[in-house]
Each structure stands twice: as C-alpha cells, then as structure tokens.
Structure 1
Amino acid sequence: MKRALTLLSFGAVLAFASTQLLAAANLDNGKQKAAVCFACHGADGNAVDPQYPRLAGQYNEYIQQALHEYKTGQRSNPIMKGFVGTLSDQDIEDIAAFFSSQPTKLDTLEGHIQGDK
C-alpha cells in the first residue's frame, strides 16, 4: 500500500511538472516562429519530401534538443544552423510545442527509412 501511494504521488508530481513545461510554451508564437520551417517540414510538420524529417507528433524535448544542437554546432547542418541561429530559448520551446502538438500522418516507416526502395 505504501509503495502504491509513493508511486501515485510520484506520478502526480510528474504530471504536474509536464503540465507546467507545456504551459510555458506558446503554440501561437511557435507556429509564427516556425513559418520558415514550413517550406521543408510542412505547415503541419508532416513533410512530404522524404529528405526532410517529419516533426509532427515528435517528442517536444527531442525537438528542443535537436534545435539546440543545431544552434551550438553539435549537429552539423549549415542550413539548420542558419535558421536556428537567431532563435531564443523561448522561441525553441514554442516551436517544439507547436510541432509536437500536431498530429502525425506517419502510420508506418515503410518508404521512410533511408535505403528503402
């Protein structure tokens, strides 16, 4: 019983913390800031060209980490570095919140993995 209460309490803390993280981001600002991303990644994050990653439905924290890594040069892509170079941490949070909130249209990986024919 004690273990169940501990797990329940821990779950409540996690739920509250994740709600607070999402509350800090602004989806409308994210959509506005992400407008330059739409040409490659699609207006809803569901890129149709397989050379561009689909961002819709990706984990928020993953998108944030990737954008920070492009900004610092940890991920090497001159195009992405140019796009993220002027983004603030809040801009990155907002963009990640926007794309992660979009429903993905990817229902299978068939034809979406490099080397597939």
Structure 2
Amino acid sequence: MIRGFSLIAIGAFLALAATQTFAAGDPARGKTKIATCVACHGQDGNAVDPQYPRLAGQYADYLAQALHEYKDGRRDNAIMKGFAATLSDQDIDDVSAYFATMPTKLQGLEHHIQGE
C-alpha cells in the first residue's frame, strides 16, 4: 500500500510541476495582446468603472483560470466569452502574466460592503 501511495504522490507531483511549467506566461508578449482588454479594464489593468474588475496585481493563475472558464463556458458572460474564444492557451498565459505584474490600485473593502 505504501509503495502504491508513493507512486501516486510522485505522479501527482510531476503533473503539478508540468502544469506550472506550461502555465508560465510572458508579460512582454502579454502587453502586445491586451488591445481588447483595455477598453473595459484599462491599459494598466486598473479599471476606473466599478462594473469592470481590476486585473492588475491579481495572481496570474487566477486570471488564466478565469479566462479558460470564459472560453469553455464555465463562466457566463457574452463579452468575455467572445473575447476569450479568440485566445490561445499561450495568449491566456501571456495576458495573465502581464496583468499580474502591473501594480494594483486595489484597496480594502471599506465602503464597498453593504452595512458599513
């Protein structure tokens, strides 16, 4: 039983390591692929209009997951789904890496939560 567990653990580690390796995006390439994003999210990823999320400073893995979910329909937003449909996996990684490297203007949730 221990030997079987060890093989599973090694396999899981290798799969995780491979996923992280392939998930690495290039922020410089990402900057060249954000023309559509800036209309809502801003050139630096800090949207001014509160209806659009601020992308700057978010984890690249989170941004990539969200884009994949728009692309495959797990998240439902017609605008984002249409945009994400045009992106390759590498584009998603690059755009996510770009916004992750941008300085965020996010603050705490003061005055954004009902009841304060």
TM-score range, shorter chain: 0.7 to 0.9
Task: Tell me, yes or no, if structure 1 residue 47 matches structure 2 residue 30.
Answer: no
Amino acid at match of 1:98: Y
Mapping for residues 92-107 of structure 1, pairs under 5 Å: 92-107=92-107
Query: Number of residue pairs matched?
Result: 98
Unaligned runs of 5+ in 2: 1-16
Distance 1:116 1:27, change over 3 A: farther
Q: Structure 1 residue runs of 4+, over 6 Å off? A: none
User: Residues 76-101 of structure 1, C-alpha deviation per residue, up to 9 Å, x if partnerless?
Assistant: 00100111111000000000000000
- Tell me the CA shift for residue 23 of structure 1: 9.3
- 1:26 is aligned to 26
The alignment's TM-score, normalised by the length of structure 1, stands at: 0.74
- Tell me the CA shift for residue 21 of structure 1: 4.4
Mapping for residues 59-70 of structure 1, pairs under 5 Å: 59-70=59-70
Partners of 2:112 and 2:45 in 1: CA distance: 15
Secondary structure of the equivalent of 2:103? coil
- 1:109 is aligned to 109
The answer to whether the 8 A contact 2:24-2:97 is kept is: no
Distance 1:66 1:24, change over 3 A: closer
Partners of 1:45 and 1:70 in 2: CA distance: 18
- Tell me the CA shift for residue 108 of structure 1: 2.0
Query: Over aligned residues, Cα RMSD in angstroms?
Result: 2.3
User: Residues 25-63 of structure 1, C-alpha deviation per residue, up to 9 Å, x if partnerless?
Assistant: 221210111121001001000001000000000011000
Greater share of residues in helix: 1
Identity within the alignment, %: 64
- 1:10 is aligned to none
Partners of 1:44 and 1:105 in 2: CA distance: 10
- 1:82 is aligned to 82
